[in-house]
Chain A
Amino acid sequence: MSVADRSFALSQNSRNRQRSNFELYAWLFMRVSGIVLVFLVLGHLFIMNILDGGVQRINFAFVAGRWASPFWQIWDLAMLWLAMLHGTNGLRTIINDYAERDQTRFWLKMLLYVSSAFIILLGTLVIFTFDPTIG
């Protein structure tokens, strides 16, 4: 389905008529973030699980070594935001698909947004305030 087709399909859905282009942008965001995440997440998994002994070598000192470099800080930050927004939007779609009562749908999405915002903020804070000399 091309962007134009997608835009048309959305305009046919009564719940989207007279509304903004939000659903179209969300659909596009899933694809753009997905392409970037291929590199970020598969790279992360390769480094963490396969390279140099994989998961067995991970500890506090290992993380301290990595986050000493802005490169890995930015990598992790981008991965955090993109994966969380991509996953949250994916779950929003799934809630829309399965939760039938308006009330249920509303509260499930509120729960989703609040917990996702919390995780994004916590993860961001952890990267920016990391202290290798703690403890």
Chain B
Amino acid sequence: MATAPVGTLYRGGQGMWSWVAQRITGISVFFFLYVHVLDTALVRVSPEAYDLVIATYKTPIVNLLEVGLVGAVLYHALNGLRVIAVDFWSRGPRFQKQMLWGVVGVWVVVMIPGTYYMLRHTVEALFGATS
């Protein structure tokens, strides 16, 4: 195993996939944060510059990306709490599989109304008012 990773702790089965997802969401959110601090810094340039860039956040395609971002952060946060529970709670390792289903369950339950509220304006603007 000449190329064995150094810091990799969780391998194999759905434990591995939950870890791969933790890694991918972590990287994605981190890169978003770089850009996000830069766009927020435009408040130091002028109100017009800031409002112009924030206007892109309100377009349909970026709005959809925001749902993806929220989904990524939410998964990373929930699964992160699960990892912490496995590490520190004495019975954590025994329940780690159940906790993973808990993560998936809470994610779905939060994302359904979350997606609805996040996209409502865009859907109404594109296809007319729904109410």
Contact = CB atoms under 8 A, between A and B. Distances in A.
Interface string A41-67: 110010001100111101111010000
A97 B4 CA distance: 8
B57 to A, nearest CB: 5
Contacts of A69: none
B131 interface: no
A86 to B, nearest CB: 9
Given A42-B73, A87-B33, A63 B26 contact: no
Contact of A96 (B7, B51, B57, B118): B7
Nearest to A50: B117
Contact of A53 (B3, B34, B121): B121
Contacts of A53: 121
A122 B6 contact: no
B80 A60 contact: no
Contact of B84 (A31, A63, A87): A31
Interface string A82-108: 011001101101101110100000000
29 contacts: A1-B9, A2-B87, A2-B88, A6-B87, A31-B84, A37-B77, A42-B73, A42-B74, A49-B66, A49-B70, A49-B118, A54-B117, A55-B57, A55-B118, A58-B57, A63-B40, A87-B33, A90-B26, A90-B30, A93-B7, A96-B5, A97-B7, A115-B34, A119-B33, A119-B34, A119-B38, A123-B41, A131-B44, A135-B48
Interface of B: 3, 5-9, 23, 26-27, 29-30, 33-34, 37-38, 40-41, 43-44, 46-48, 50-51, 54, 57-58, 63, 66, 70, 73-74, 77, 80-81, 83-84, 86-88, 114, 117-118, 121
